[in-house]
Structure 1
């Protein structure tokens, strides 16, 4: 459940109450009118009512510059909701605005992001070189690659071009930084890199496509349902960071053929994660509020999905040709 607190002019109290009745809010409380003429109204709603209520309130109160809407989480409720209400809560989708706020932060390129990419890359590279699975998994815990990839899919779902641009830039910088850093490590490493962890990421297969698709879908589902995305983020990072690190290590070792194989795996994983997360956002109903924005988002979604599907199809054909040695690379 959520508390939606609306701060509006006292004359709009009945408008807010009518919106609460339309969505069948569980409770409505009107606070006193302040000396500035504003009144706080608090509405208790279930998670599956939040988005509809926010859309109604934004449409009704959009012309009021002093109006403000706050969404507050309810940690516990006594007595607990009945079983039917609990099922609705479990299947509810997080509010569009809440998703956007989190994804907007994750799409921004900042010093913390760069530091985490560098640290996780160094740890992952050491784990790959030493053939230590535990160290590789540990690197995934701190890798910040989930956020910008999901932000890219959300930006497409909402038709938000600035969000898409920021996300693409953040993803590209993170991957290029990981490749450059590991290329230096590979060049400095005194012995040949032949560990199983490294070599396993120099070849892509159909299982790689399925892994990345599952990772992207799980990540999008976790954020839209409000569940913890920490472990899912680890899964997504496993699909992205080790291949990027392997590309750099192989380039540093002077092995362009193996680096190309790792780059193919990385490309497949990036495309699959973004395609799967976009499809989940679509089926969860993550769309803009206004009609014009919906039309723009629809066009962006069609172009986005087609590009990713075609790219994935081409990459899959390359994988199959490499596996059956029909295409010498």
Structure 2
């Protein structure tokens, strides 16, 4: 439920009341008031979120119309008294005009916006440099990427080319500040080698595209939902969007500063994947909830902008996915490592020599570019009544695992370390 204050010239208040009644308004009141230079009618209206757009559209023809829309939900109670529970639980999504105008409000100060991007870059750098994962979470909360991301999607859904250009500019300005900050810090402190958290962050999964799609849809849904209709806070969904963008931005800056262009390329791939996925999912979600190119108090939308922008996002996303699956194992290391681990465990389970205790598989890079290593660490326990020595078990399992991994063609050299653990003898 939304509350509106409508100001019209004196004598037009009755017309406003009639329009409000037609839009199922409640707790209506008309007050004769005095403006700065004339007398006017002030009409107080309470109307459901879904009726706000229609109400404003019907009021547009009134002369000298002024409207104040309160952006927070209110509880409008009216007779009969026993209907109060139904009245307060009738919560609808925000109106399209409210969603759009709230997005426009966030395109304000550049100074504060870029300052947050700078501070987020510092926190991202410290987290990656010191292998402190909780600092990455703090940077995700601080990074201001969710605002321009959602505004880009809003502009796409509304077909607003002007807002689209302005949002993309803010988008890339913030990302550039974060990238430059992390790169500059690595250069000043003469960082030479990547940290383990940087290496882990560069490991890309074949299902990475699902993250920006989920982030974009969740971010749009957060803006669409009314204040009290969701238990998920806007900060949480904003963090999800920033989680898709802040670490890759830091990886690009730090990887470039230390000359590890393979890490920078992986970070750039992730960044572009997030940008395309978030915009595609969020724009479609906004359209699903009623945002269109034209609406009350909004006539700037162009019909051709939405299909063009969505098409570009889809093409970028498709191109990146094709690049990912044609560039194995570089852009699929995380998924391939999981698959290799599964193959390894099958080999051990099929063996009568030992039973699996634990296994870890990860990709590493040798000094020569393109010479990838699949490092496998396997811990097994001798099966009962097996007479072979620990060295023989180790040799046989190592050969069997390497044979299986080479057969699967992971495009990497499998290096296997099998450790045979002995149970305590009492």
Q: Which of 251, 258, 261 is the equivalent residue of 1:253?
A: 258
Instruction: Give unmatched runs, 5+ long, in structure 2.
Output: 228-232, 333-368, 371-426
Q: Displacement, 1:87?
A: 5.4
Label 1:264 to 1:203 Cα distance change in 2 as closer, same or farther (>3 A). farther
**In structure 2, what is the equivalent of residue 47 of structure 1?**
49
Classify the secondary structure of the residue corresponding to 1:44.
Answer: strand
TM-score (norm 2): 0.70
The farther-off stretch of 203-212 and 165-174 is 203-212
Is the aligned partner of 1:315 residue 2:320?
Answer: yes
Higher helix share: 1
Q: What does residue range 211-230 of structure 1 map to in structure 2 within 5 Å?
A: 211-227=211-227, 228-230=233-235
- For structure 1, the residue ranges without an aligned partner over 5 or more in a row are none
Structure 1 residue 106 displacement after superposition: 2.3
Return closer, same or farther for 1:303/1:291 CA change in 2, 3 Å cut-off. Answer: farther
Contact 1:108-1:170 within 8 A present in 2 as well: no
Task: Count how many residue pairs are aligned between Structure 1 and Structure 2.
Answer: 322
* Contact kept in structure 2, 1:159 and 1:293, CA below 8 Å: no
Q: Give the Cα–Cα distance (whole angstroms) in 2 for the partners of residues 188 and 74 of structure 1.
A: 50
Name which of structure 1's ranges 260-269 and 104-113 shifts more when overlaid on structure 2. 104-113
Contact kept, 8 Å, 1:117 with 1:178, in 2: the verdict is yes
Q: Deviations over 1:91-118 (max 9, x none)?
A: x232333323332232346110111100
8 Å CA contact retained: 1:116, 1:143: yes
Distance 1:251 1:162 in 2: 33
Q: Give the alignment of 1:261-280 within 5 angstroms.
A: 261-280=266-285
Question: Shift of the alpha carbon at 1:164?
Answer: 1.2
Partners of 2:157 and 2:284 within 8 A in 1: no
CA distance in 2, matches of 1:292, 1:167: 18
Note if contact 1:202-1:260 (Cα within 8 Å) is conserved in structure 2: no
Measure how far apart 1:325 and its partner are: 6.4
Corresponding residue to 1:300 among 305, 324, 341: 305
Preserved CA contact (<8 Å) 2:19 2:59:
yes
Rounded to whole Å, the distance in 2 between the matches of 1:284 and 1:202 is: 36
Q: TM-score, normalised by structure 1?
A: 0.89
Residue pair 1:33, 1:40 contacting (<8 A) in 2 also: yes
Which deviations, in whole Å up to 9, do the C-alpha atoms of 1:104-151 show, x marking residues without a partner? 232346110111100011001111121111111011111111001111
Alpha-carbon deviation of 1:212?
A: 1.0
Deviations 1:195-246 (A, max 9, x none): 3321133243333210111111101100111343111111111100110110
Q: Quick one: distance in 2 between partners of 1:19 and 1:196?
A: 64
* 3-state SS of paired residue (2:295): coil
Deviates more, 1:299-308 or 1:32-41: 32-41
Could you report, residue by residue, the CA deviation over 1:288-307 in whole angstroms, capped at 9, with x for unpaired residues?
A: 2169948x543211111111
Q: Structure 1, residues 29-73: CA drift from partner, whole Å, max 9, x if none?
A: 110243722110111112222222122212x22xx2x32011124
Aligned-residue RMSD, C-alpha: 2.6
Larger displacement relative to structure 2 (217-226 or 154-163):
154-163
Q: For 1:196 and 1:313, locate their aligned partners in 2 and report how far apart those are by CA, in whole Å.
A: 30
Q: 2:241 aligned to 212, 228, 236, which one?
A: 236
For residue 83 of structure 1, report the CA deviation from its aligned partner. Answer: 5.7
- Greater mean deviation of Cα atoms: 245-254 or 226-235: 226-235
